[in-house]
Amino acid sequence: MSKPAGHYPQRKMTLKQTKFCEEFLKNGWNAGAAARAAGYSSGSDYTNKGRIMELSNNPRIVQYLEGRVKKMTDELQLPLDYIMRKLKWVIDHCIDESKDIQKELLAPGLSAIREVNTIQGNYAAEKRINITVDGDKHLEHVKRLMERAIEDNKKEY
């Protein structure tokens, strides 16, 4: 009995392919480093790039990686109440109103507040600065203030 056209028996991944997948996940999705760590030869650049593309497009490898990523994501999901309690802890310890605010703790505290607001659906409005200048003598000063405000805004986000 013949098999339908395009039907191939499902083969399992080799140990080397599995090693490639695990290394790929471990090293930050770097396919080249994963291929080397899995033991694939380090020949010419052309050979390496071809092998990496072949590995990256292999349906069994793609399916395996998708399954592993889903499993890792499912395992890492934290309950919302846990996240909110931890963010509240960060806020309480970084921005303690009974003490002088420590400059180095201000940024993490504000980031935690921003994250809580985002989780609750309250997004920060776009920041805008309106300035009216009564003459040219203050123009240079205003320009420096605007540049500083823009830089500060970039650092915040």
The sign of the torsion formed by the CA atoms of 38, 39, 43, 46 equals negative
In this prediction, residue 22 carries a pLDDT of 93
| Predicted confidence (pLDDT) at residue 86 exceeds the cutoff of 50 | yes
Alpha helices in the chain (DSSP H): 15-26, 31-38, 45-57, 59-76, 80-94, 103-119, 139-156
Q: Picking from 19-23, 90-94, 106-110, 120-124, which range would have the lowest pLDDT averaged per residue?
A: 120-124
Q: Please tell me what DSSP assigns to residue 39.
A: T
Amino acid letter at 28?
G
